[in-house]
Amino acid sequence: MIEITEQRIESARLIEMVSDGGAGAIDVFIGTTRDNTKGKKVIKLEFESYAPMAIKELGKIVNRASNNWNILKYAISHRVGLVEIGEPAVVIAVSTPHRADAFDSCRFIIDELKKTVPIWKREFYEDGDIWVSAHP
């Protein structure tokens, strides 16, 4: 399952989705919104995405992960719109027969997501806002 959603992400729902009788491990990554960047107070965050392409790119990442590790089931949800501080912005759940594959594949998916998936984060401070990573 891959989704881009405006709703709050409930990680329990994703864990349930990847539950599998053949699994010996489920790994879950939850990326949450932090209240500071380089010492600056962040008051709110907003994500936007080019959703159809984001879903396609996430599918490609999962395919690459499946070539490297034995993934039984996966569930990926990325939030868009306004996200309050401390809430999940992304949740990735992976089930595998053994734990090493669960840890490694889950980490691979979040690392690659950050490189290629067309999603953009805007941080709002008390004195303005920036699109994260836009400038060197």
Partner 1 sequence: MCKQNQEMEVTIVAYGIARDIIGTSELILKVDEGITVKDMLTLVKRKFPDFEKLTSLLLAVNEEYVEENHIVESGDELVLIPPVSGG
Strands 88-96, 25-32: pairing is antiparallel
9 binds partner 1 (CB under 8 A): no
Chosen residue from 103, 120, 124, 125 binding partner 1 by CB under 8 A:
120
Closest to partner 1 by CB, 78 vs 101, is 78
Strands 81-83, 73-79: pairing is unpaired
Measured in whole angstroms, the distance separating CA 112 from the mean position of its chain's CA atoms is 10
Task: Identify the sign of the CA torsion 48, 51, 54, 58.
Answer: positive
Closest to partner 1 by CB, 73 vs 121, is 121
| Residue 27: strand, helix, or coil | strand
Tokens standing for residue 118: 């067309």
Per-residue contact track with partner 1, 14 to 53, x per CB under 8 A? -----------------x---------------xxxx-xx
Closest to partner 1 by CB, 65 vs 119, is 119
CB of 73 to partner 1, least distance (A): 21
132 binds partner 1 (CB under 8 A): yes
Residue numbers 89-118 binding partner 1 by CB under 8 A: 89-90, 110, 113-118
Task: Identify the sign of the CA torsion 107, 113, 114, 119.
Answer: negative
